[in-house]
Amino acid sequence: MNIVRRSFLQIAAPVGLAISVGFFTPAAEAQAQKTLKFIAQADLRILDPIATTAYITRNHGYMVYDTLFAMDSKFEIKPQMVDKFTVSADKKTYTFTLRDGLKFHDGAPVRSADVIASLDRWAKRDGLGQKLADATESWSATNDKTFVLKLKKPFAFVLDALGKPSSNVPFIMPERIAKTDAFTNITDPTGSGPFKMLKDEWVPGSKVIYVKNKDYVPRKEAPSWASGGKVVKVDRVEWLYIPDSATAANAISNGEADWWEQMPPDLIPLLAKNKSVKVDNIDPLGSMGMIRFNFLHAPFNNEKMRRAVAMVLNQQDYVLGIAGNPKNGKPCASYFTCDTPLASTVGSTLLTGKRDFDAAKALIKESGYKGEKIVIISATDQPIVQSQSLLTTELLRKLGLNVELQAGDWGTLITRRTSKEPVDKGGWSIFHTWLVGPDLLNPAVNFAIRGNGDKAWFGWPTDPKLESLREAFFEAPNAAAAKKAAEAVQARAFEFLPYVPTAQFILPTAYRTNLSGIIVAPMAFLWNVEKK
Amino acid sequence: MFSYIVRRLGATVVVMAVVAFIVFSLLYLTPGDPAAVIAGDVATDDDIKRIRQSLGLDQPFIVRFGTWVWSLFHGDLGISIFTNLPVTKLIAQRVEPTISLTICTLIVAIITSVPLGAIAAARAESKTDRAIMGFSVLGFSLPVFVLAYLLILLFSLQLQILPVQGYRPIADGIWPWLKHLILPSLALGTVYAALITRITRASVLDVLAQDYIRTAQAKGLAEHNILIHHALKNAAIPIITIIGIGIGLLISGAVVTETVFAIPGIGRLTVDAILRRDYPVIQGVILIFSATYVIINLLIDLSYVFFDPRIRY
């Protein structure tokens, strides 16, 4: 009997050990403490932050790339990869020197040639980049660490362009990658940023894995927005995509995720009850919703019709519609992000005055509106778009307009809005969207305000006056003059109405209380974050 | 039998060719432009035109279809427009979670539904039968996502014994793999179990009315013996058929479960690809689906031979 039992134990013990090892001690779990599990706002599909303006790709860019300059919380542009720079007395020559120790993830040093190739590619896609390119005579490399920008004429926005915080950000890539056509997606995520992407572990639609770039040399300054020391305090980041918000809320409640970048406001009460989770607003600028008209067809090719809509629109309704709670948003009657240096109320009485339906109806009559069908295109898979669309539809109905809401998905909306046909041939009259605060800081980056016709954003408004005022902004010699120029742009914008700002709102973030060091900024940066 | 299998496999090629043409045509006609999606919200007409050109989306239908078919003949399903990863890699990444979920769901469904269905048939019109049929109706009626959230609430948030979401490959260990599949399998398996329970009950009831069962009872065979060895085996064909159809449905139709539990399966890959108009991925996945359906149906047909010796091909 003993022999039988001993034999059994001789066999069972190693089998049991093997099973228990297989069952309970996977290597990855042992390292959980050094892994930051981050639920991102969207699925990362495109790795090229120059080929797309998608914010998720911009955020990926901040993980793996670095920039020459970066904006801090005081809206000042600070050197980032650049160690020092000089500007000639005539303001036509900029000489930049790179910091010591900058290396790409493949071990190659960052050279002037990499910078020039990267900026050349970026300037082919970005509006402000194109403006800089127009003013540029040449870029040249003095040596591997020093390069020179020569301008045809002084251009006050050189540093603003090189430190542009939002899409498209002038990220620096290796020359071999930056030589790719600007309209073709790059597939190699090699950068010189604080994290390295493990492309083999990337599962689109599920997760992206980054590890700390141990060769990265952070600046000495404290982090402030995208500037300062990018000190990585975790070994690994698992950037998760969880499409269902209830599941994401449960994951953060349960400790399966550490940080949820953007949560829908309706889940705030649920997470606020959990003492291990902090719901916070870390985005100081928020985002701005907007109504965009089609200027090619009736009725919104008529300024009076656009004014009639703006006269009755109540921004507070849109705040509640988008953010669900007045704490997470506010009216913002400015074409430049409220609470930033160029924001103002100049010309905004149309939005802030009495909501006068009678006057609006009289204006509609005056415009000669003949009952033409107004088609609002919407996307049910984008709550911010859909909530605005529903509110505008109701508003237009109250004005007695012939309005039809046509809702599909986001993919359909962004395709359909490219159509210049009238509504009876698949065109559209109105769509809604939103832009993050950094994209609306001034007339240089606010592309939606432009009135350059065929070359303008969808809706194609034409307004030479607005364009000339915008050009004047670029010529402003100093900050005070720039402020005045921006006010002039805004005053004209409130007359012409290239779009109607609907609300400024913040999508709150939620993180486990064992996280510290989260940077307050208009986008989620994952350096400086510590997990205890 | 061999010639039957060869004929069926030959038919598979024809089916897939027809599916390929229909899918390609439908996608061509469907509104949506991946170039616009790639360009992002902040883009101009010119940007989108340039991207469209660079992707070859400005080519005529026949050229695009021809290029795709030519690649297929070379075993290449193409490259995702967005991720620039090969479609085969994207599908391969999703195969393990999908097969794991399918197998676990089938296990949950079959081990509960076949015995319950047989018992309900054996105890027809009794309280047991009514209770089992009540479970079946509940299983049908309860949407998968509702059950999923209830299971998460109980097992993940209250008891904290199972994870809320995610998938771990089997290479990470049996338990991490299994614990991420228990709740999804229960949620998805309940509906499926309800269906098989009803089919099993109906099928076994039908068999129990046969003369040879009465003969077996007259011979004095034990009730469980009659049920398992005589009734259930002869009732197997409709049950096997419904299980086989279910496998196909599970592979393609587990989108809700995959979404609620954030499992990176083929269902979600398909929906994501449709939403962003990633044509090569949609085409590749549908081709794989159609091949899977045809092969599963073939296997079901072949399995009939083992359950009913009267069937010959």
Subunit contact B149:A246, Cβ cutoff 8 A: yes
Structure tokens at B191: 């509906």
Subunit contact A455:B41, Cβ cutoff 8 A: no
Subunit contact A457:B172, Cβ cutoff 8 A: no
Domains in chain A: boundaries: 2-280+508-531, 287-505
Instruction: Compute how many other C-beta atoms are within 10 angstroms of the C-beta atom of residue A139.
Output: 19
Subunit contact B44:A455, Cβ cutoff 8 A: yes
Beta-ladder partners of A500? A291
Chain A residues with beta carbon closer than 8 angstroms to that of B281 = none
Q: What is the pLDDT along chain A (532 residues), one digit of tens a residue?
A: 444 444 444 444 444 444 444 444 444 444 545 899 999 998 998 999 998 888 999 999 999 999 999 999 999 999 999 999 999 999 999 999 999 999 999 999 999 999 999 999 999 999 999 999 999 999 999 999 999 999 999 999 999 999 999 989 999 999 999 999 998 889 999 999 999 999 999 999 999 999 999 999 999 999 999 999 999 999 999 999 998 999 999 999 999 999 999 998 889 999 989 999 999 999 999 999 999 999 999 999 999 999 999 999 999 999 999 998 888 999 999 999 999 999 999 999 999 999 999 999 999 999 999 999 999 999 988 889 999 999 999 999 999 999 999 998 887 888 889 889 999 998 999 999 999 999 999 999 999 999 999 989 999 999 999 999 999 999 998 899 999 999 999 999 999 999 999 999 999 999 999 999 999 999 999 999 999 9
H or E stretch including A23?
helix A2-24
Angular region, B186: left φ>0, alpha ψ -120 to 50, beta rest: alpha
Residue B80 contacts A where some CB pair is shorter than 8 Å: yes
Q: Where are the alpha helices (DSSP H) in B56-126?
A: 61-73, 87-122
Exposure b/e, A206-242, CB count within 10 A at least 16 = b: bbbbbbbbeebeebeeebbbbbbebbbebebbbbbbb
Subunit contact A43:B31, Cβ cutoff 8 A: no
Measured distance CA(B262)–CA(A260) in Å, rounded: 14
Find where tokens 């926005």 sit: A157
Subunit contact B32:A410, Cβ cutoff 8 A: no
Name, in order, each residue with C-beta under 8 angstroms of B287's C-beta and a sequence gap of 6 or more.
B16, B19, B20, B23, B72, B77
> Which residue of chain A is at minimal alpha-carbon distance from B36?
A415
> Which of A206, A260, A380, A409 should be substituted to probe chain B, the one whose Cβ sees the most B Cβ atoms within 10 Å?
A206
Structure tokens at B300: 């079901």
pLDDT per residue over B124-161, tens digit each? 999 999 999 999 999 989 999 999 999 999 999 999 99
Subunit contact B41:A435, Cβ cutoff 8 A: yes
pLDDT at A206: 93
The fourth-level CATH superfamily of domain A2-280+508-531 is: Periplasmic binding protein-like II (3.40.190.10)
Measured distance CA(B48)–CA(A248) in Å, rounded: 33
The fourth-level CATH superfamily of domain A287-505 is: Dipeptide-binding Protein; Domain 3 (3.10.105.10)
Residue B65 class from Cβ within 10 Å (0-12 exposed, 13-18 middle, 19+ buried)?
A: middle
> Which residue of chain B is at minimal alpha-carbon distance from A207?
B264
pLDDT at B252: 64
Residue A200 contacts B where some CB pair is shorter than 8 Å: no
Give the closest residue to B16 by CA, choosing from B303, B284, B279, B300: B284
Q: How many angstroms separate the first and last alpha carbons of chain A?
A: 53
CA-to-CA dists, residue B82 to A57, B171, B312, angstroms: 12, 29, 49
- The answer to whether A223 and A282 have CB atoms below 8 angstroms apart is no
> Which residue of chain A is at minimal alpha-carbon distance from B84?
A187
Name, in order, each residue with C-beta under 8 angstroms of A153's C-beta and a sequence gap of 6 or more.
A92, A135
